[in-house]
């Protein structure tokens, strides 16, 4: 089966790279994503003179926002994608308080206790060993430092256009393209195993009634074609599902929803 956005983030430097960048840039402009990200930043309790780490920083959009608002704080972004880092460095060229480093999440290029706070956002879902990544994030964070992780719980992913069966199959195929679909609910347990205490979780519920938006975020046109290719749904039925979704979107009755879990704690 060809890749969709769900599996494409495992190797961002692939033929899907431009599509992944478009997806990230699009989401960063949506009010929901701005709101939950802002809440997670507040949870970090950023202060002047601190060093704050963003693991799997992607195109650097979060760090650029933070560095602009906290000019006396130093920010480090780490990502294994050379192409993402190239974009991040170009976009952050005017900000002296950001540093971008190449690196793998489970082998961060930093010493023990090197940062005051750390975050990871919607990236553990794609990683082969999320527990090892969280363990290394805890390693590089000072005792008493805060860690914040935000991840989807893909069992909450639903699609609806007035029809249940095919909507469920299409949502299910996308869910299976995610390496760690239940990472959102696992965050607190995994962080606890890494020595993170005073854990708190909050659920942020995303939804849209616009098929166009859902297609950018969830790659629905590709996924419905993959369902037909896998003989899960006939080609005629997937085309009908898309037409019905377009009609529902025009009427405001289309629905796509997903919960994102934000979990925070303090390194003991």
Here the tokens at position 42 are 């507040």
Question: What does the pLDDT read at residue 88?
Answer: 97
CATH of 5-267, one of 3.40.50.150, 3.40.350.10, 1.10.3720.10, 3.40.190.10: 3.40.50.150
pLDDT at 153: 98
Task: List, as one string, the DSSP characters of 96-161.
Answer: TTEEEEE-BTTB-SS-TT-EEEEEEES-GGG-S-HHHHHHHHHHHEEEEEEEEEEEEEEEEEEEES
For tokens 């990200």, what's the residue? 37
Q: How many helices (H) and strands (E) are present in the chain, helices listed first?
A: 11, 7
Query: Could you list the mean pLDDT of each consecutive 10-residue stretch along the chain, which spans 268 residues?
Result: 85 92 96 96 96 97 96 97 96 96 94 98 97 98 98 98 97 96 98 97 98 97 96 97 98 98 98
**In this structure, which long-range contacts are made by residues 45-50, counting pairs with CB atoms below 8 Å and at least 24 apart in sequence?**
45/117, 45/146, 46/70, 46/73, 46/117, 47/73, 47/116, 48/72, 48/73, 49/73, 49/74, 50/74, 50/115, 50/116, 50/117
């Amino acid at each position: 089966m060809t890749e969709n956005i769900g599996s494409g983030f495992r190797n961002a430097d692939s033929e899907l790279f431009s599509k992944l960048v478009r997806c990230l840039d699009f989401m960063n402009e949506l009010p929901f994503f701005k709101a939950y990200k802002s809440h997670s930043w507040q949870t970090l309790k950023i202060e002047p003179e601190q060093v704050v780490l963003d693991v799997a920083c992607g195109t650097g959009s979060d760090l650029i926002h933070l560095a602009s608002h906290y000019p006396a704080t130093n920010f480090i972004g780490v990502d294994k994608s050379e192409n993402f880092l190239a974009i991040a460095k170009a976009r952050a060229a005017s900000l002296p308080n950001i540093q971008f480093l190449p690196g793998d999440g489970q082998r961060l290029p930093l010493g023990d206790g090197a940062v005051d706070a750390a975050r990871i956002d919607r990236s553990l879902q794609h990683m082969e060993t999320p527990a090892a990544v969280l363990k290394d994030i805890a390693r590089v964070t000072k005792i008493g430092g805060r860690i914040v992780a935000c991840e989807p719980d893909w069992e909450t992913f639903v699609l609806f256009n007035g029809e249940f069966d095919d909507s469920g199959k299409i949502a299910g195929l996308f869910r299976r393209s995610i390496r760690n679909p239940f990472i959102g609910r696992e965050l607190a347990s995994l962080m606890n195993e890494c020595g993170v205490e005073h854990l708190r979780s909050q659920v942020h519920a995303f939804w849209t009634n616009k098929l166009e938006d859902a297609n950018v975020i969830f790659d629905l046109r590709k996924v419905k074609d993959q369902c037909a290719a896998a003989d899960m749904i006939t080609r005629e039925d997937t085309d009908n599902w898309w037409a019905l979704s377009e009609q529902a979107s025009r009427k405001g009755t289309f629905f796509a929803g997903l919960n994102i879990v934000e979990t925070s704690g303090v390194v003991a």
